[in-house]
Amino acid sequence: MLTHDMIASTADDFAVDVCGGLTKPGQKELPSKYFYDAIGSRLFDVIVELPEYGLTRADERLLREHAREIARQTPGDVILCELGSGSGRKTRCILEAFASRRYTRYYPIEISPAALAVCQRELSDVPHVGIVGLEREYLDGLLEVAARRDYGQRILVLFLGSTIGNFSNPADRKFLRDIRNILQPGDALLLGTDLEKPIPQLIQAYDDPLGVTAAFNLNLLARINRELGASFVLSQFEHVARFNCATRSIEMHLRSMRRQTVAIPASDLTVTFKEGETIWTENSHKYSLDELACIAADSGWVSKAQWVDRQWPFAETLLAIENVE
């Protein structure tokens, strides 16, 4: 069995995380961050275009409609940094709003080098903006941005697209508190969160009739085959999206359609799946506005403003750190 100390690099983190997730007693798991290799990032760019998946369009609408107000509510010399910037498409209007008043530095933080490259290319023509891409885990990247802050500058963190929903409760609260603890009074966080909506609508969004989300999910096994030399037979696993009423989250799983054994040489592992057994690959929590207010307070943030989309229930919340007397 491989341990963390025996190996250092990202590829090997992948091998260790796969081993850890697939040897977990009870429910087998794989971290959703590994969806985003080059193929996965492209499949996600297709998902956000699907009629059934309205989340990203709602996020974009709110950002476009309220970018100037968000900039007005965050005065002074502001550094922008985005956790999980993806292709960066929806961030353009925010950059333009801040850069219209002064030169603005923007730090997209992304673990997918493919997505980071697209983001830098996508936004390189926005005037008065300096882009410094950081291929890091979220908090490592934020620590680096905080260390680069000049005197008198404040930081606005963008955490959009309801990626916070991938953190199961209470990990979401802990993550927001970790961000808060890296920052200072006067700094702020713009948080995008998908809201509760009818379950059939959610199932459609995560199990679309075209099968793009199924491909996005199965690509995780294909990635393990490509990068860790595994022997997953993709046609022997099926995509499952279900709503967990207790946690009010959409869960994505990959179900084994028969008893089978898979070798994963780079993880020094052979794992057997029973027929019907699943691998849990993603949690996407759907928030209520009351819950958001509690989470903000519990994690040391003060809510300054909030906007909710009318077409697809989604909230953009501007949170701030106030001086603690």
> Closest CB to ligand AVJ among 36 and 98?
36
DSSP 312: S
Q: Where are the alpha helices (DSSP H) in the chain?
A: 10-22, 38-47, 55-72, 92-99, 113-123, 138-147, 171-182, 199-206, 212-228, 289-298
C-alpha of 278 from chain center:
22
Shortest distance (Å) from residue 38 CB to ligand AVJ? 16
Residue 82 sits in the site that holds ligand AVJ (CB under 6 A): no
Instruction: Tell which one of 154, 165, 179, 240 touches ligand AVJ (CB under 6 A).
Output: 165
Cis peptide upstream of residue 31 (ω within 30 degrees of 0)? no
Q: Tell me the site size for ligand AVJ, rule CB under 6 A.
A: 11
Q: 242, 251 in Cβ contact below 8 A?
A: yes
**Which is nearest to 44 in space by CA: 32, 35, 52?**
35
Shortest distance (Å) from residue 166 CB to ligand AVJ? 5
> Closest CB to ligand AVJ among 85 and 166?
166
**Which is nearest to 273 in space by CA: 253, 287, 294, 293?**
253
| Residue with the CB atom nearest ligand AVJ in the bound state | 284
Q: 239, 271 in Cβ contact below 8 A?
A: no
> Closest CB to ligand AVJ among 74 and 166?
166
C-alpha of 61 from chain center:
19
Q: Which stretch binds ligand AVJ (CB under 6 A): 13-21, 156-164, 183-191, 255-263?
A: 156-164
Q: Which string of x and - marks every residue 258-287 that binds ligand AVJ (by CB under 6 A)? A: ------------------------x-x---
Q: Which string of x and - marks every residue 113-142 that binds ligand AVJ (by CB under 6 A)? A: ------------------------------
Instruction: Tell which one of 54, 88, 133, 161 touches ligand AVJ (CB under 6 A).
Output: 161
Shortest distance (Å) from residue 32 CB to ligand AVJ? 7
In sequence order, the 6+-apart residues with CB closer than 8 A to the CB of 112 are: 36, 37, 38, 40, 41, 86
Instruction: Tell which one of 22, 47, 115, 221 touches ligand AVJ (CB under 6 A).
Output: 47
DSSP 68-110: HHHHHTS-SSEEEEEET-TT-GGGHHHHHHHHTTS-EEEEEE-
Residue 21 sits in the site that holds ligand AVJ (CB under 6 A): no
Shortest distance (Å) from residue 161 CB to ligand AVJ? 5
Residue 87 sits in the site that holds ligand AVJ (CB under 6 A): no
Q: 82, 107 in Cβ contact below 8 A?
A: yes
Instruction: Tell which one of 19, 55, 78, 123 touches ligand AVJ (CB under 6 A).
Output: 55
Residue 192, strand partner residues: 316
The residues that touch ligand AVJ, with contacts defined as CB under 6 A, are 47, 55, 161-163, 165-166, 206, 213, 282, 284
